[in-house]
Amino acid sequence: MRILVVEDEPHLLRSLAKALREEDYAVDTAAAGDEGLFKVESCDYDAVVLDVMLPGMDGWQLLERLRRSKLTPVLMLTARDAIRDRVRGLDTGADDYLVKPFDLSELLARVRALIRRGAGKPCPRIELGEVAIDLRSRTVTRAGQPVSMTAREYAILEYLAYHRGEVVTRTALYEHLMDESDDTLSNLVDVHVFGIRKKLGADLITTRRGQGYCIGP
């Protein structure tokens, strides 16, 4: 899953990006509103963490522009616990908000919930036959037994499971699992899928030649 963080305070931006990357999200960053708008318009993020108070274009304006074309889930960071701010955020199309200062673990939980809701999967568990994915703990079991996955394997499996029944192209996997600072995945998706099949069964992921990968019918 790929997330954009728009925040002008350098220290907070760094710590948010670091915390999200530690959860194995691909994270892009923007330190100003117009830069954030450029990025959300050019990439389909799985979620956006958006500070309200930004130099130039502020978070409200960015959100309004984004909502003209996209339904990307947005978590707003508001500086004050003002009801007016919250109402405005929800009216403009924010999906959730968090008041500064906040606890990082709460932000991570809200981002997880946003991504699940955005994908129409409010339940934190996805079952694929004998394979079960716990989206909260990011763990996988097969026939009830824990299976150890690499971060990349888990990310690919989770993305395909969120899009169960759809063919997911390699390009989509690159776009959603790698961020702007990452050039290491290159064409290794096939290798990770091979690893997933070895651990979870050869039939779990279908290859559609020339199209991509698919879980389920």
In the complex, the residues that contact Ca ion under the rule CB under 5 A are 8, 51, 53
CB-nearest residue to Ca ion: 53
Which is nearer to Ca ion, 107 or 172 (by Cβ)? 107
Residue type, 15: S
Find where tokens 């130099």 sit.
55
Which is nearer to Ca ion, 102 or 198 (by Cβ)? 102
Give the shortest CB-93-to-Ca ion separation in angstroms. Answer: 20
Which is nearer to Ca ion, 79 or 202 (by Cβ)? 79
Round the CA-based radius of gyration of the chain to a whole number and report it. 18
The pair of structure tokens assigned to 131 is 């394979």
Give the shortest CB-214-to-Ca ion separation in angstroms. Answer: 41
Q: What angle do helix axes 189-200 and 170-177 make, rounded to 10 degrees?
A: 90
Burial 53-89 (b: 16+ CB within 10 A, else e): bbeebbbbebbebbeeeeebbbbbbbeeeeeebbebb
Which is nearer to Ca ion, 51 or 95 (by Cβ)? 51
Give the shortest CB-11-to-Ca ion separation in angstroms. Answer: 11
Give the shortest CB-88-to-Ca ion separation in angstroms. Answer: 16
